[in-house]
Structure 1
């Protein structure tokens, strides 16, 4: 695990930079050890403090203490006595749910709980590990950063459709459609509460939270976030929750999750945005038991990438794909339907 070697003090020349983090301009004053614990995956506060004591952490190229208060634009570096992990991707024989394939692309239905690409804490068992096992010579795009075939991604606990490129031309052609926002993407989400309007549009610039970069916030100031637009429509109101359909006009990190939280309707069982608590109805009795049973059916947020449409790279024809809700997601919807029907 990263940081295991931090108790070992090494000479400057023997250290390899693993992290370089620039504090956002909106960063509030925060202890260095707490700041790093929010930004370095799988590292406890104790290990961070050991690393600081071992002089493996610097702020603005200066060795400092754990109590140092991080300020906007501070540059924090973390170095270890071994080089960063090799970016070689290990092929793994993981089954793929391929719903379409031709010479230049394929459409994969990703299950809930599968990470899309390797990263700290998830070097194996990802969609990319499976893809490099089943397919040879997938393109890596212009950055070549260990994401062969990947044109876009969805969160670990979001299920649904992804398009994978099999050639460099297909990757470039598809990536351009995502950049131009001409890709059609529809998601189903189960959110807390009943929305006042059957249809609506959420606009809000999305950027990372200054204190916890795992969380995306909504900003009025466009210099603090990227322009984001989500269109929603209520599919089925269920008194305490609602099944909705969302169409993305843009594709920002956690866009639907952050936008729904922003308007007061977090996604059901979303642990990052507060949807994993009872937000409507009473918190006891049969109702509480039913909600907790629903929580137990999903490892994360009730969000599914249901449909995907785009222009094919070579035929130039419009392709449209659709998939049903996963069984556990549908089971939750059924439980809510049954509950409200007999109450």
Structure 2
């Protein structure tokens, strides 16, 4: 059984940065995530989307940020168990022991819960046969946009994600993109809304407002067309190679909601005056999964929380040792052998 100083549940940007900060304090980490690759939502949902609010990077793609965080953490040799969900947690002496849905067991002196918004599931429209065409023309997120540039694309949704991808594909694809929204107004950035109408006027985008997909059809085992109906009962048949229903994600805490942690509105309550500790000693929650007065769900705030949580973890793991601040400008970065 693997034993470590800190078990980090969640391989998103905040969890990965916690590995680096822990390494500076000579604490070893082991990361576990239900997603099959590191990066959390950044790699699973929008690896090619730019991020503009990371200090020192005027612009960086989400996937590239994860690559950099993995490289930064590499000297500290974190362990990884990916594609497995943490199902249970119990205390065994000085260690916490977790067990995954695949039976993997890990022990750590401290637990960091860095699971983003928890276990995320796409909000799926209630349409007959939709499961028959998942990954066969129906996708709930855009992983590699370049693979769709020669396709006939339809997008449903009225939020930022739907409009961002509608704009991207309208500017890149040879055939006009279909954007379908059940309302007359959007819930997105005003600049994006203006751009949508510009693309419509230019003939690069077909816009169906007050409309929704009511049925789908396939050919040779793959999606072939969508049947769209507006509020006047007018129907449109749209030939479609790939349909993205982008209605957001449904966050679920999953099994960790049964661990005795203080939960408030699907988030874990923490003491931000005490290194983002939870009500259970030795368990910290960092990133989007926690809540406290003044909470901001930003990656850079998660980095700050991870740093302070590591210092809190050090005091638990080494109660007899004096904690000192490690300045990398003076000491550099010395990894583990």
Report TM bin, short chain. Answer: under 0.3
- The two structures have a TM-score, normalised by structure 2, of 0.24
TM-score, normalised to structure 1's length? 0.23
Q: Looking at both structures, which has the greater relative contact order when contacts are Cα pairs under 8 Å and sequence separation is at least 6? A: 2
Compare the two structures and name the one with the higher helix fraction. Answer: 2
